[in-house]
Amino acid sequence: MLTGGITKHPTTLADGRELIYYDDADTTLGPERATDARTLDPRPATATMRQDPLTGDWISIAAARQNRVFLPPANLDPLAPQSPGNPSEVPNRYDVAVFENRSPSFGPQLGALDLEGLGLGRTAPSHGRCEVVCFSPEHEGAFGSLSRSRARTVIEAWADRTAALSALPGVEQVFPFENRGEAIGVTLQHPHGQIYSYPYVTPRTQRLMASIEEFGPGLFESILEFELASERVLLQGEHWVAFVPFAARWPLEVHVLPRRHVPDLAETTEAERDELAPFYLRVLRGLDALYDTPTPYIAAWHQAPVRRMRDDIRLMLQVTSPRRAADRLKFLAGSEAAMGAWIGDVPPETQAEFIRGGIDRVGEIEW
């Protein structure tokens, strides 16, 4: 059951992939949806994972991704609604559309895997699901350029898909995210994000789990209290708090936490989702207001694993950008890339003051 007056229309694409339309509460679209009449090649086989014996990490070798579209012109945008000259992935005009990726890193096969242990030459199928979330039918933009109503629809789609994907066989963690800007490696200008559903708990989350084991189950509550007492707070609402973290790695780094414990987006309330729409828009528009050109970033929704430590791991948004000046980027060189030993370029307190200035210039977000 969706909240906020948002409706959904599930269907399938010509090759059997799932497609779901999410209509804004104030949509001007009708309920009818056209059939995908394309003739498509069979879906690529599920990729294979290989284990790195130095770390225990599983690496998906998804060779089919080499053929994906790279920065196409607007008239050949694969995420735009289909037209006579553009046989795109979405048959209809839409508000928000979610569909299975045609060249996924994980899936389409599903099922539980035995990934415990460590050894040489270990392989396993890359089970899981990868989905594309189209924020708008327009060719250019990002989440921050959406209307408040449309942002609310995307949040509802994230929550709905988190619940659905968490129920799939063998899925251990669900990760919604947005890559924005060519400096991040974006290959499509179309405003969109993705959702990865992994067959394992990701390495970043495994490190978090180890930290909770050492610190205790109140880690996130303690972090929130610590940051609220600092000069790094950027924005506060009834349900959400945004801040620059004490040990920020990136030149621009913003974390957003809900005030109450909630493990993932599917467990948020309607009131929390309603507030998150303008709150998140203001954060992203504030980052864009820092310079004369849009800020590249990765917006990552860290959610608790499907079956582990859900009472201890709190939903957290982390927005990171390599932009350290108007015309300069931070590149991950020897210390960061090779050793995982980060060096910050600017004190987090200085960056917090800088980002607050951008957020203040944006002002309130209207419907």
Report the distance separating Cα 315 and Cα 302, nearest Å.
Answer: 6
* Measured CA distances, 121 to 24, 52, 174, 229, 268 (Å): 49, 9, 27, 49, 41
Separation between Cα atoms, residue 249 and residue 252, nearest integer Å: 8
At a CB cut-off of 8 Å and minimum separation 6, what does 104 contact?
A: 47, 62, 128, 129, 130
* Spatial CB neighbours of 184, under 8 Å, sequence gap ≥ 6: 296, 297, 298, 322
Instruction: Fill in the amino acid letter for 316.
Output: M
Would you call 78 helix, strand, or coil by DSSP?
A: coil
Contacts of residue 343, Cβ cutoff 8 Å, sequence gap at least 6:
335, 336
What are the CA-CA distances from residue 283 to residues 17, 89, 242, 276 (Å)?
34, 30, 8, 10
Is 192 labeled as catalytic in the residue annotation?
Answer: yes
Catalytic residue among 127, 190, 192, 255: 192
Are 107 and 128 in contact by the 8 Å Cβ rule? The answer is yes
Q: What is the CA angle 103-179-233, rounded to 5?
A: 150
**Residues designated catalytic:** 192
